[in-house]
Amino acid sequence: MKSSRIRAAQAVVSRRAMLLATGGLAGAMLIAPHVARAEGAPGAYPLSKFFEPTRSVGVGLSPDGARIAVGENLGTDVAPSSAVDFIDAADPEGQRRRIELGPVWINSIQWASNDRVLVSVIIRGETGRRSQAGTNIRSESIEFYMRRVVSIDATRGDPVVLFADQRTRMRGSFDMGRIIDMLPNDPDNILMAAYESDGVLGLHRVNVNTGAATRLERGGTGTYTWRTVNGVPVMRQDVNSRGTMESIMVRAPGETEWKLARRSRIRDAPEFAWVGESGREGAVLVIARLDGEDVQSVREMDLATTHLGPPLNPRPGRDVMGGLLDSSGQYLGAAYYGERLEYEFAEPALAAHHRALNRFFDDTCDVYFTDVDRARNRFIAYVNGPNEPGAWFFYDKTARAIVNVGQSRDMDPMRLGAGEVLQVSTRDGATIEAYLTAPPGNAPGPLIVLPHGGPEVRDTADWSRQAQVFAAQGWWVLRPNFRGSGGYGQAFAEQGWTRWGTRMQEDVEDAVAHAIATKGLDASRVGIIGTSYGGYAALMGAVKRPDLYKAAIGICGVYDLPDMLAWEQREDDTPGQPIYDFWTKRIGDRSVAGPALEAASPRRRAAEVACPVLLVHGVDDSIVPLIQSRRMRDALRAARKSVELIEIDDFGHADWEDVREQELMTRYVALFRQAFG
């Protein structure tokens, strides 16, 4: 289909409706626009719609660009069913060929060669109920999940489970689905990692035609992955027992021993990432920031000396998000987040094509290149935006064709909230960005503030299920990138260091005032909710602005800064305690700033809270301990405030499944609705 025909069709019907109608998703149905949500925005979806199982879960393009594979989950959470659809890239809107996989969930999909596609699947199992020997006591059955990789011949079907010859390993390991290297120059084999019987990770060459595996080497204690060039391991990453720090080990061509290149944080503002081969013998591409630099950039690492070269295509005030490779592993450029997702291409001619795709989506979505063929003519683009829950498009630059080949959720953008970027002037003269989601219909109304976690991460103008659920109620949703957020460079992040409860909180308040003033929102009906650092910001907002917030919800939040720092010091098992040092620099030094840290702790100021509070925390949270929420609850109760704590058994840092999240979102909506009157 020519782009001119697409644009003509856009003038008549919505983009998604047109693409569905032209066969991009055979059998999909548009939901009638007159279906309304009671007590919500006109025409909005009910809350349950946002928790329906994802359908398309991945799309892959063969290295030669001739075929497309689409992973489809067709069943339900209770009764899974999945299939892989194969598409001729020369006729992307033609008949699909489907191969059923049975009662499994597809996790991801990628091509091992031009003929075989690899499908990562999740298999649900359950132990039987057993009687304990010599008693009448019967133990409960236990639900478990296993990950496996299935190799499928694109012409014949012929599915093969990888590691199929390793029966003992297959019975004893829950995860046999870790692909390390697709080996672009070896169509018959890939490299995979799997744990040995003693718990040490091994690297294996696995034949994709037979499933047979041969071990190449064993890792060390804590090894969790390898990085390779042309099938040769050149980097190994080992993690500490707590999972907070990694040791980057490298091995240059011709060397036999691994050597330490550097140590890096994993969870908290990570500062190192692998990209791929550089094209120069003995060197690879990584993401890193050197001392004195503001932004993270792609750069070359010499494997023999571990020296890091100068930045490639740095962007002032923007940290690189990742590198882009083609199907042969060649570097194509780096991704950044500006007005939306953007690329600095090593091959400049590609920039015009990415701009054209952005224009096709009216410059309202992020367009990620997920697969690029070796000729760099055909692409798979994953498209995501404020009111686009995720779709995959096939783009052929020679044929000037763009076709919708996969849709994560069947939802009409017109019944979802549109997004907008706000440039907010703060009270001290700085400027921050915030993302505002309107309810369907854009009618003025209440406002939900949704500060992100981290705090040294950032929000983007992407799909947010939380934001859309609230927008469906007729509420506006604000996601501010306050100072102290990541992604904007080190200087921006440092402006929030030791400013918890002051500058960082004031930036949130300034964004709220800006949204209310520019959109004419109801300043008497504002609620706040957040997770992790966002939970802290929610409760600190309730402390500092009892006049503003009518309800506050904290999920796995930090509520007592001195206690949290003391816990980090006790838990940091890395020599020199770099994680404790990291948090001391960002929150404050207890030995110097004790009174200020107490003043910035919601638990210590519970008496100042005026609105109802809901707390949620995973019992097994290893990032923020449950005691933070329990003590916050106890302090609010002692101050005779309205508070409830929901503890989620068997889960950690807000990692629970959709069934529980739907229940919780229903509670959140009910609390805000009651608070707004």
**Which residue, chain included where needed, has tokens 């594979």?**
69
Q: 22-35: per-residue pLDDT in tens?
A: 333 222 222 222 23
Q: How many CB atoms lie within 10 A of CB 343?
A: 21
Residue 131's pLDDT is: 52
Domain that holds residue 659: 414-562+606-676
Residue 621 has pLDDT above 90, yes or no: yes
- Residue 626 counted as domain residue: yes
- Residue 378 counted as domain residue: no
Residue 10 has pLDDT above 70, yes or no: no
Q: Which residues contact 331 (CB under 8 A, 6 or more apart)?
A: 275, 276, 277, 278, 279, 285, 323, 324, 325, 346
Partner residues linked to 78 by β-bridges: none
Residue 464: give its domain's CATH number. 3.40.50.1820
Residue 36's pLDDT is: 32
- Residue 520 counted as domain residue: yes
Residue 141's pLDDT is: 65
- Residue 481 counted as domain residue: yes
- Residue 633 counted as domain residue: yes
Q: Which helix (H) or strand (E) holds 145?
A: strand 143-153
Closest CA to 74 of 65, 83, 66, 63: 83
Q: 383-399: per-residue pLDDT in tens?
A: 999 999 999 999 999 99
pLDDT mean over 159-178: 83
| Alpha helices, H only, 224-291 | none
pLDDT mean over 287-312: 95
Strand order in the sheet with 283-288: 272-277, 283-288, 297-302, 308-312
Residue 136's pLDDT is: 56
DSSP code, position 318: B
Q: Which residues contact 327 (CB under 8 A, 6 or more apart)?
A: 61, 62, 63, 111, 184, 371, 372, 373, 374
> Are the CB atoms for 532 and 623 separated by under 8 Å?
yes
- Residue 457 counted as domain residue: yes
Domain count, the chain: 1
What are the start-end ranges of the E strands in 438-548? 447-449, 476-481, 526-531
Average pLDDT, the chain: 90
Closest CA to 668 of 451, 494, 448: 448
Report the distance separating Cα 15 and Cα 393, nearest Å.
12
Report the distance separating Cα 444 and Cα 515, nearest Å.
11
pLDDT mean over 332-361: 94
| Alpha helices, H only, 52-134 | none
Closest CA to 534 of 505, 497, 502: 505
Here the tokens at position 442 are 């854009």
Q: 98-141: per-residue pLDDT in tens?
A: 999 999 999 999 999 999 999 999 988 776 655 555 555 555 66
Here the tokens at position 566 are 């003391």
Residue 47 has pLDDT above 70, yes or no: yes
Our CA dihedral for 336, 338, 339, 345, rounded to 10 degrees, sits at -50
- Residue 550 counted as domain residue: yes
Residue 168's pLDDT is: 72
Residue 174's pLDDT is: 83
> Are the CB atoms for 198 and 177 separated by under 8 Å?
no
Partner residues linked to 646 by β-bridges: 616
More confident residue, 198 or 474: 474
**99-113, 127-141, 499-513, 538-552, range with the lowest pLDDT:** 127-141
What are the start-end ranges of the E strands in 315-439? 322-325, 331-337, 341-345, 366-372, 378-385, 388-396, 401-407, 419-425, 431-437
